[in-house]
């Protein structure tokens, strides 16, 4: 397995649906679960599956992602493993940036030509799930498939956002449509086991996880040289022709972090008593940068169903159903509920934290006597004292300068300053 498969993680485009979280970073670099970044999820799945040769394709705002990968994934000199960044570049064959998922792989595949492998796994950089790719590769080889697509049953509400397919009794994909309209959904229903039918999950959706035979991937990319996207073009064309395209049905937890709403829900779900995404597995670790931070300190805080990362100094009165990121500092009398506090990239010195009366802006922290609900506070923000942020459906979506509202969630972008007494 270690020698047979190379993984390619797609960094995605501009990430407009995750804006403003992607204002200063690429999608895979967006923090999640207090201490990780989205890219840590597929990389960890690879490492736990014995895949040690990993490429990450990036294009937009990739500096922080490059830094994170460089500081995190270093293999010893006796290993052939690596996690390499492949940024969009001009070549004799192409002067353009990546035009889509397939085009990104097409422009980068020459970097993999000298690596001995049988299969290439194409993975997304913005999903939350735990999968043993060894099982998928074994099924791919057992079926002698040219292409295997990981699939999952979904409800009608979600089906319009994914590639939907129908399969034969043997699991071979016979037809495929990318993001079907609501009007045509009914004809794309599939026969499902009873447990999925009871949940209303009648549609078989692509998870955006593909395993190609080495030669087949190159052949498809060359044969359909004007096709730029796997879901919209390459996969339907492969199914329509003589290629054997197989479904690998997965029934574990999986969610696409494509929007602010899905990102918010996925983070808050981690505060459940038994979250579906298991951060506490003894074998399937989630790897990230080892920051060597001190333990967090809480003083007089009621802390309920929340995650607390390392290096935090918390004096809040109550924190409930929230994710508190690394190096967070939260003042006395503050209440935080149903929110994501991403924390800070560095500690402030004692002198910087001692505000004098003539300070024009608060320190890098959340101040005293604040109330924050249904919000995302990005990294390195300065939130003053007596600030009230109450997100919800009553707020109209938009860009309000100091903050944004998306699906009723208030987002304070990275490095923003919210003055004392502000009410949102």
Q: What is the pLDDT of residues 394-411, one digit of tens each?
A: 999 999 999 999 999 999
The structure tokens listed for 375 are 């919000």
The structure tokens listed for 374 are 């249904």
Spell out the domains of the chain, with CATH numbers in brackets. Answer: 5-269 (3.90.550.10), 297-418 (2.160.10.10)
Strands 147-154 and 245-249: parallel
CA–CA separation, 193 and 341 (whole Å):
40
Residue 226 pLDDT: 87
Contacts 24+ apart (CB under 8 A), 92-101: 97/59, 98/13, 98/57, 98/59, 99/228, 100/228, 100/229, 100/230, 100/232, 101/10, 101/228, 101/229, 101/230, 101/231
CA–CA separation, 294 and 312 (whole Å):
8
| Residues 4/115, Cβ–Cβ less than 8 Å | no
Non-local (6+) Cβ contacts of 96 within 8 A are: none
Q: What is the pLDDT of residues 153-183, one digit of tens each?
A: 999 988 998 999 999 988 999 999 988 988 8
The structure tokens listed for 314 are 């918390």
CA–CA separation, 310 and 379 (whole Å):
15
Running DSSP on this structure, what letter comes out for residue 401?
A: S
Residue 402 pLDDT: 92
Residue 1 pLDDT: 43
CA–CA separation, 24 and 400 (whole Å):
18
Q: Give how far the C-alpha of residue 319 lies from the chain's centroid of Cα atoms, to the nearest Å.
A: 25
Please give the share of the chain, as a percent, with pLDDT higher than 90: 66
Q: What is the pLDDT of residues 117-163, one digit of tens each?
A: 899 999 998 899 999 999 999 999 999 999 999 999 999 988 998 99
Question: Is pLDDT at 279 greater than 60 in this prediction?
Answer: yes
pLDDT band at 96 (very low <50, low <70, confident <90, very high): low
Crossing angle between the packed helical segments 101-108 and 214-223, to the nearest 10 degrees: 110
User: Average pLDDT, whole number, for the chain?
Assistant: 90
| Residues 365/353, Cβ–Cβ less than 8 Å | yes
pLDDT band at 415 (very low <50, low <70, confident <90, very high): very high
Non-local (6+) Cβ contacts of 61 within 8 A are: 22, 24, 25, 26, 29
Helix (H) or strand (E) holding 353: helix 350-353
Buried b (16+ CB within 10 A) or exposed e, 15-31: bebbebbbeebbbbbbb
The structure tokens listed for 14 are 């501009």
Question: Is pLDDT at 2 greater than 50 in this prediction?
Answer: no
Residue 356 pLDDT: 46
Q: What is the pLDDT of residues 317-352, one digit of tens each?
A: 999 999 999 999 999 999 999 999 999 999 877 676
């Amino acid at each position: 397995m270690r020698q047979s498969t190379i993984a390619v993680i797609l960094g995605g485009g501009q990430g407009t649906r995750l804006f403003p979280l992607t204002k200063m970073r690429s999608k895979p670099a967006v923090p999640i679960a207090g201490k990780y970044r989205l890219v840590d999820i597929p990389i960890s799945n690879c490492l736990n599956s014995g895949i040690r040769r990993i490429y990450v394709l990036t294009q937009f705002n990739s500096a922080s992602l490059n830094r994170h990968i460089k500081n995190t994934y270093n293999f010893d000199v006796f290993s052939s493993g690596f996690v390499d960044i492949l940024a969009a570049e001009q070549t004799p064959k192409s002067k353009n940036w990546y035009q889509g998922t397939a085009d990104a792989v097409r422009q980068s595949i020459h970097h993999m030509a000298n690596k001995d492998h049988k299969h290439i796994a194409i993975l997304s950089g913005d999903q939350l799930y735990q999968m043993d790719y060894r099982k998928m590769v074994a099924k791919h080889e057992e079926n002698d498939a040219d292409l295997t697509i990981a699939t999952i049953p979904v409800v009608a509400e979600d089906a319009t956002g994914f590639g939907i397919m129908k399969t034969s009794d043997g699991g071979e994909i016979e037809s495929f449509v990318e993001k079907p309209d609501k009007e045509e959904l009914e004809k794309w229903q599939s026969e499902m086991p009873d447990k999925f039918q009871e949940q209303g999950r009648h549609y078989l959706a692509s998870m955006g996880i593909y395993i190609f035979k080495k030669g087949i991937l190159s052949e498809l990319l060359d044969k359909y040289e004007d096709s730029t996207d796997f879901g919209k073009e390459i996969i339907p064309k492969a199914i329509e022709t003589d290629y054997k395209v197989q479904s690998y049905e997965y029934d574990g937890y999986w969610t696409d972090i494509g929007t602010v709403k899905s990102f918010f829900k996925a983070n808050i779900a981690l505060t459940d008593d038994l979250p579906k995404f298991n951060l506490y597995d003894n074998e399937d670790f989630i790897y990230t940068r080892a920051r060597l931070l001190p333990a967090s300190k809480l003083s007089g805080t009621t802390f309920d169903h929340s995650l607390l990362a390392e290096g935090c100094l918390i004096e809040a009165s109550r924190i409930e159903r929230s994710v508190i990121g690394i190096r967070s500092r939260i003042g006395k009398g503050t209440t935080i509920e149903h929110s994501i506090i991403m924390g800070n990239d560095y500690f402030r010195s004692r002198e910087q934290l001692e505000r004098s009366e003539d300070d024009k802006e608060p320190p890098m922290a959340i101040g005293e006597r604040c109330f924050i609900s249904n919000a995302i506070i990005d990294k390195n923000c300065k939130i003053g004292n007596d600030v009230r942020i109450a997100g919800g459906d009553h707020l109209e979506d938009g860009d309000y300068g100091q903050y944004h509202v998306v699906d009723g969630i208030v987002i304070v972008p990275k490095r923003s300053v919210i003055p004392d007494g502000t009410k949102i």
